[in-house]
Each structure stands twice: as structure tokens, then as C-alpha cells.
Amino acid sequence: MRKALPDPQIEARRRQPVPETVDPAIEALVHDIIGKVADKWTMLILEALHEHGTLRFTQLGKVVGRISQKMLTQTVRQMEKDGLVRRTVHPVIPPHVDYTLTPLGESLGAAFCGVWIWAETHHAEIEQARASFAEREAATSSITAGD
């Protein structure tokens, strides 16, 4: 079994520079935003508020699921800073605070809708892919080209 056959197609691609299509400045900016928004808790809270409208602290925690108070507070505060949620404090004595999405937050929620739908649609395929990967792993790892 030969290993180092020349293969002109591979050689051709060998020293190709990275193809660039978009302005790197905008890329960097968008990457930064994605880095901040693409967080598990942010997405989960976003969806909770998108679904239920207005929720208070404890309710929000229950809807999100397994989130600690610490993370809930932290994430929600960051989202407030970013202008995604509005936090309203009612000055009563067992405290009452509620959270709702701003128009900006709503628009992000709408944008993520596609991802939620994707997840609902394709979760079976992911599980199947994992199973078949585990199977292949037992035999040979990954795919060897042209063989």
C-alpha cells in the first residue's frame, strides 16, 4: 500500500492562499458579536423570553431549566447591558423584578428561530451521526480519500 503518491490535484492545492471574500474589518466585528451572543445561557434565556413574553426571575429560571441563580443573574445582566432585555424593578417588599425582551432582543430571538427549528428538525440525524461515528471509530478513524 503506497502512501506518498504525488497526486497532482493535491499538489495544486498545496500552496494556495486562503481565499478571501469579505472585508476583514466587518468580519472581525461580527465575530466579536457572535462571540458574545453565541453562549448557551444567552440563547436559552432569549428563547424563554421570546416564548413567554415577560417573566420574573424565578419563573425565568424554571423555564430555562438547569441554570443556577448565579448564571441567571449574570447572563441577564449582560443581556441588559447589550440592550437585549429590559429589567423592571417593582419596589415592593418581597422583591418583584421582571424581564422582557427589547425590540432588539426580539429581533435576535426571531433570527435564532431558524436555529431552534433546525434543532427540532434534525436532532434525530445528529444522534444517528454520532452512533455511526462511534461505529466507524471502532474500525477506522475518519475517511481516507481515494481509497
- Cβ of 76: how many Cβ atoms within 10 Å? 22
Round the CA-based radius of gyration of the chain to a whole number and report it: 23
Residue 56 sits in the site that holds DNA (CB under 7 A): yes
When binding is defined by CB under 8 A, the residue of 8, 15, 31, 74 that contacts a second copy is 31
Q: Which of 49, 72, 101, 108 binds a second copy (CB under 8 A)?
A: 108
Residue 8 contacts a second copy per CB under 8 A: no
CB of 145 to DNA, least distance (A): 12
Span interacting with DNA, options 46-54, 65-73, 112-120, 121-129, rule CB under 7 A = 65-73
Which of 31, 40, 122, 130 lies at the binding interface for DNA (CB under 7 A)? 40
SS3 4: coil
Is the distance from CB of 88 to CB of 106 less than 8 angstroms? no
Could you tell me the smallest distance in angstroms from the CB atom of residue 82 to a second copy? 5
> Using the rule CB under 8 A, is 128 a contact of a second copy?
yes
**How far is C-alpha 147 from the chain's CA centre?**
36
Residue 77 cell numbers, joined: 445582566
Q: Is 73 in the site for a second copy (CB under 8 A)?
A: no
Residue 12 C-alpha cell reads as 495544486
**Residue 105 CB partners (closer than 8 Å, separation 6+):** 46, 49, 50, 79, 83, 84, 85
DSSP assignment of 45-60:
HHHHHHHHSEEEHHHH
Binders of DNA among 108-137, rule CB under 7 A?
Answer: none
Compute the least distance from the CB of residue 31 to DNA, in Å: 12
Residues of this chain that interact with DNA (CB under 7 A) are 3-4, 6, 14-15, 39-41, 56-59, 66-71, 73, 76, 87, 93-98
